[in-house]
Amino acid sequence: MKINKKRGFTLVELLAVVLVLSVLAAIAVPLYVNTRKTSAARACQANLASIAAAQSSYATRFGKYVGAATADTTWAASYTAATAAGTAPTGGLIGAPEGLAQVPSCPLDGASVYTVAVPTSGVCTIACPNKGVHATDTGAANTKWEQVLQPGGSDGTNGF
């Protein structure tokens, strides 16, 4: 007598495997997306701190922030040393000894460049172009997505 054994999976077994895999995917995908947004926000805050530190260092050395005069260009790569003691160099933060190696951009999209504004009041404001998106993504609306540096060494509000 011959016994016919069937090999393979039943429909119920296949549906159970698909169900387990879909539950795992439903848990993992939102966690992955949230982790990417959080890491981009933290990298953005680190970029803001780096720019603020470079501006503070430059201002300590030359008595003004880059961008304080109309001849200054914040992201210029044409940094040249000061021609006389106490005078500020031409160029900007890129390539300066206290500056940055390259123009930083927001890691959220990789293309948006941070804005640095120094009006005649001498207050330096460094802001992320995607600050509204960061605040929404992370749920941290109170987190600083911009740094404000006060003129003349009177700044006691910065965390660095």
Orientation angle between helical segments 11-62 and 131-138, nearest 10 degrees:
140
Q: How far apart are CA 33 and CA 71, in angstroms?
A: 43
**How far is residue 133's CA from residue 129's CA, in Å, rounded to a whole number?**
9
Strand, helix or coil for residue 126:
strand
Whether the predicted pLDDT of 43 surpasses 60: yes
Structure tokens at 42: 């933290």
CA dist., res. 88 & res. 157, Å (int)? 26
Q: Report whether 81 contacts 89 (CB < 8 A).
A: yes
Other CB atoms within a 10 A radius of the CB of residue 56 amount to: 19
3-class SS letters over 73-125:
CCCCCCCCCCCCCCCCCCCCCECCCCCECCCCECCCCCCCECEEECCCCCCEE
**Highest mean pLDDT, choosing among 24-28, 59-63, 131-135:** 24-28
Structure tokens at 28: 């993992």
Q: What mean pLDDT is predicted for residues 76-86? A: 63
pLDDT value of residue 155: 46
Of the pLDDT bands very low, low, confident and very high (cuts 50, 70, 90), residue 24 is: very high
